[in-house]
Amino acid sequence: MRKRFICEKRRGEIWRNALFSLLLSAKRDLMSIPSLFNCSNDMALAAHVRQYVPPKRIQQMEADLADLARVWEGTRFAGPWGWSLATKQRYRQMGVAGELLPSDEWLEEVRRLSSREFACRYVKELLGELKDERLLGEEMRWVDKQSPLWDALTTSKPTWGTSVDRRGARRQTDVGHVDFGAVKTSRARIFKSPWSSSGRGVFVGSVDFNPNLNPNPNLDPNLDLNCKSSTLKRLQGFLSSQGGFVVDRFYEDKVLDFAMEFVVHKDHTVEFLGYSVFQTGESGAYGYNYVESQEELLRRIDVDAALLHRLIAYHKEHLAQTAYHGPVGIDMLKTADGSIHPCLEINLRLNMGILALLLHEQYGSGATVALTPVREHGFQALVEDGRLMILSEK
């Protein structure tokens, strides 16, 4: 009898433990962490430390626009704008249970996938698979200290050009000649650090074509360029701080910025959320997103539907192969001849495009609504006549 009693007691403990685990799992599913507008997250990814302190103006932006998190609070996107070691540490300091936070290994993978180095390789594979003459991006290259292109930059004879940073301040610089074979016109190049935010880490330099330049035999002749002085110093800064940089054609014939928005579920299925269309200034700084229906946005994009569907299918298939789960925005552009760049960068986080989709669900097209308090100085987020924008007064 005693042996039978012990067995039944153990069986009861097993069932109680199983029931407790089930209830705990259900409780975790119902629990969520506070939503947080941490727009400095890309900069925190670059720093890759737990105790990251953003520049003062970015701190002010996050503080002034904290109420913007209400847009996604209570939705399936509840949580931070983006994940990094610093975001995880911030939640720990807020008292959020560790079981609700991602592992460091997962955060490491998010950082790798968020890098523009990954975007460069992603574009190369996409163009090789889809093979469509309307797709741009072949000139997008990753450069590190092992790249033949870096040798060309540091050893070729310098010439002078003009550069402009993303904030629009023009100055004399040092981007040199590039050999594009039979092409006889000038073309600007854009340089980007692997991780950056709010226009930091991105600048444009004009490049002169020089068909007489003798290219490095180990280098693609279409990318043989050289530079000196401040531009070279800036690129060396990218190398020392972030391990490399991206060089790409600057699309002066761009007519539209748009993006494809996705969410990757924990079971690795990928859902296409929709398109977003946004405007940027001449210097590349963010202007606004249209808060409109998908039909209205597609009319603005005006790209062959079959090509768009092929790109959606490609992105869904390849995003499903990553360890990431959460929102994803893939930035694209359209040029005057109807060509499109299928992946300028991949944002593994919330973004203004997904916010525009959520706001359209809440308010419809053409709405005007204040999303954060009106401020005499500082930052304010609002939708005005169907345009989501961030206003700033210094």
pLDDT digit string, tens, across residues 221-280: 444 444 445 666 777 777 777 778 888 988 989 999 999 999 999 999 999 999 999 998
Residue 209 vs residue 293, higher pLDDT:
293
What pLDDT does 191 receive? 85
Reported confidence tier of residue 216, pLDDT bands at 50, 70, 90: very low
Containing H/E element for 277? strand 270-280
Q: What CATH number was assigned to the domain covering residues 253-393?
A: 3.30.470.20
102, pLDDT greater than 90:
yes
What pLDDT does 195 receive? 87
Burial of 392 (0-12, 13-18, 19+ CB in 10 A): middle
Phi-psi region of 386 (alpha: psi -120 to 50; beta: other; left: phi over 0): left
Report the chain's mean pLDDT, rounded to a whole number: 80
Cα distances (Å, whole numbers) of residue 356 to 277, 279, 286, 349: 9, 13, 14, 14
3-state secondary structure of 281: coil
pLDDT digit string, tens, across residues 103-146: 999 999 999 999 999 999 999 999 999 999 999 999 999 888 77
What pLDDT does 119 receive? 95
Cα distances (Å, whole numbers) of residue 104 to 52, 77, 108: 16, 20, 6
What the block records as the tokens of 389 is: 């924008």
What pLDDT does 204 receive? 80
**Which residues have CB under 8 Å from 8's CB, separation 6+?**
none
* Strands 286-290, 270-280: pairing kind: antiparallel
310, pLDDT greater than 80:
yes
Domain coordinates of the chain in residue numbers?
1-30, 41-110, 141-249, 253-393
Residue 14 vs residue 150, higher pLDDT:
150
Q: Are 346 and 330 in contact (CB under 8 A)?
A: yes
Burial of 154 (0-12, 13-18, 19+ CB in 10 A): middle
Phi, psi at 194, each rounded to 5° = -60, -40
pLDDT digit string, tens, across residues 325-380: 999 999 999 999 999 999 999 999 999 999 999 999 999 999 999 999 998 889 99
What pLDDT does 239 receive? 78
Reported confidence tier of residue 21, pLDDT bands at 50, 70, 90: very low
What the block records as the tokens of 126 is: 């996409």
Average confidence (pLDDT) over 298-316 = 98
How much of the chain, in percent, has pLDDT values that exceed 90? Answer: 60
| Separation between Cα atoms, residue 254 and residue 239, nearest integer Å | 29
DSSP of 94-115: TT--GGGS--HHHHHHHHHHHS
Average confidence (pLDDT) over 165-185 = 32
What pLDDT does 148 receive? 66
Reported confidence tier of residue 166, pLDDT bands at 50, 70, 90: very low
**Which residues have CB under 8 Å from 27's CB, separation 6+?**
none
